[in-house]
Chains A and B, each alone.
Chain A
């Protein structure tokens, strides 16, 4: 459980992403830092536009090289992925880090069978014969719970249901048994009952294969079900990092608290929902200091000064200068969380 003892699998250090816009650049994420231990399940949470998907794509090296630029470090077992030549990075993708996406239909090539799409991944990274690749692809299909995998090998994506497509996508991502899976909203396009199945499969495979997973989602409920640690992003920055159970009960950042409080399932029926006033600042027009400060009920003058991400006791990191003095409600009212 204690990830400080193990050497981290992934260490993201002050990662910033910039996109070219006209003649200039806009900064999409700023100083994103977090670590993941081998086999650890970490949730990366935030609302749309907070930079969570960009961070996931940056880890994979999938941001378009012509129109984007990265600063900082991404260390996979000590190897810096940003400094690595593109060809070496390509050999990592699909083998040591994999990614699955939100829309399983558009994420699969419509004119190739899913079996082909699995075995070509295998053959891109390992020296295996066609027959062996086929067998291992069928095994992979079976592992993600696709019935009659031998028959399904020759199916095209459009012949599968949404849930089965996402399972096929998982089979592609996991066929080389990577150390890290980045799952970007893998269940958002699916129904709740199917979502439950997919989350179940993912969790089980991670445990069985000893694989770490970065679960990118807007759904705090899903994170609490699947992950042990949580990284919250707001307006391109990490604002809080810590154990899921701790943050759910005792968030340290007012934004994490606001997110949790606005979940309708957690408020008494028909009661007024504690929404967060205002709207997310736009890129290129960020407020000074804490980016959440204009919407924060606890903002004070020091909040307009630059806010570093800093460690708090007993563990975790927060980007808020008032973290120690504030007692914020999580999923339960403050008095009940004690």
Chain B
């Protein structure tokens, strides 16, 4: 695994926004991770965690204020403007709201073809053909081509967005809450489609979501974000079964899982309070204000981002020594398996 060149990597990445003269919002702060070719890398976080900004930075929609984003070991910002434009086609995003992503006055075919029109590397007839192929691949029959977005359901619109991204044959797709707005039965459909496409085209996914069920289902590895920082990262099974960080533990515990009462074993951890302002995060460990294990050390010193177990990273002074509860999400997986 170490031999593989990461397709996307961040090195102490920071994305900062200056809100006024004296306040800087560090939406993403000193984040480092590698995404390997062909894997699905999940990023979990609540609103305000910086996960969307991170996703945008990964595909060069947001320039780093500190540190680096590396694509196949190279800094895309070192490329010339033309090369960067070429290069970007490899790194695509699918957003949560397909309504915002589709122009209501464009036919579906035109929407799907649009990235090719912008790239302008092939003749019109060929572009239509590629667009039709992409539509077929995501399960939209040819008679959708002449329709408009308002005639489609939410799930179908999200398929259009996926087809549109596929036309460019990217190697990485960032899915930012791509299934969050969909009903469960449709969501399952789209998740299956994404899995099929990954197999077929060898795609690499970076899956950004607040939904643990979704991220647990499709990711190989997950990272957990809190107030702009990564607090935990590792193989999905390991993170869900043996969370090292108390925040991950609380997230897992808060996730409502459909289980009959006699099968609920774990004690629920209910976090007190809400996310502090990301503009002035707490000193030391950012989670300490809501952590039930917090001690003086946590306020005084920032915890190191360290590999507690092989491949399983966490930023907590007491990682691995805390009596975290076994998560209900994992509980189900065990029961079902």
Contact = CB atoms under 8 A, between A and B. Distances in A.
A266 B332 contact: yes
Which of A268, A269, A331 counts the most chain B CB atoms within 10 A?
A: A269
A249 B250 CA distance: 26
Contacts of B254: 192-193, 195-196
A166 B146 CA distance: 43
Nearest to A267: B217
A318 B259 CA distance: 21
A259 B154 CA distance: 17
Interface stretch (A109-117, A173-181, A273-281): A273-281
A324 interface: no
A273 B191 contact: yes
A260 B332 CA distance: 13
Contacts of A270: 195, 217-218
A161 interface: yes
A255 to B, nearest CB: 9
B195 A47 contact: no
B262 interface: yes
Contact of B185 (A258, A265, A269, A331): A258
Contacts of B143: none
Nearest to A220: B258
Contacts of B185: 47, 258-259, 262, 275-276
Which of B153, B188, B216 counts the most chain A CB atoms within 10 A?
A: B188
B226 to A, nearest CB: 10
B61 interface: no
A47 B154 CA distance: 12
A219 B254 CA distance: 13
Interface string B239-262: 000000000001101111111111
Q: Which 3 A-B pairs have the closest CB atoms?
A: A221-B256, A265-B213, A264-B217
Nearest to A258: B185
Interface string A184-199: 0000000111111101
B336 A200 contact: no
Chief secondary structure at chain A's binding surface: helix
Nearest to B290: A193
A89 B91 CA distance: 57
Given A191-B210, A333-B336, A265 B257 contact: yes
Contact of A272 (B154, B195, B262): B195
A236 to B, nearest CB: 15
B329 interface: yes
Which of B184, B251, B253, B261 counts the most chain A CB atoms within 10 A?
A: B184
Contact of A196 (B183, B192, B268): B268
A195 B333 CA distance: 23
B212 interface: yes
B255 A265 contact: yes
5 contacts: A47-B185, A191-B46, A248-B259, A260-B258, A264-B218
A187 B149 CA distance: 29
A154 interface: no
A276 B189 CA distance: 8
Interface stretch (A24-32, A68-76, A120-128, A222-230): A222-230
A265 B250 contact: no
Contact of B212 (A192, A195, A219): A192
Interface in B257-280: 257-262, 268, 270-272, 274-275
B191 A264 contact: yes
Nearest to B183: A47
B217 A265 contact: yes
A252 interface: no
A207 interface: no
Contact of B262 (A192, A245, A259, A274): A245
A254 to B, nearest CB: 12
Contact of A268 (B213, B259, B274, B333): B333
A250 to B, nearest CB: 10
B294 interface: no
B213 A225 contact: no
B260 A273 contact: no
B183 A200 contact: no
Which of B46, B210, B217, B337 counts the most chain A CB atoms within 10 A?
A: B217
A244 interface: yes
Contacts of B270: 193, 196-197, 200
Given A194-B274, A266-B336, 10 more contacts: A193-B46, A197-B271, A221-B257, A225-B256, A262-B187, A263-B213, A264-B188, A265-B332, A273-B188, A273-B192
Interface string B166-178: 0000000000000
A210 B336 CA distance: 36
B303 interface: no
B5 interface: no
B17 to A, nearest CB: 20
B34 interface: no
Contacts of B261: 224, 244-245
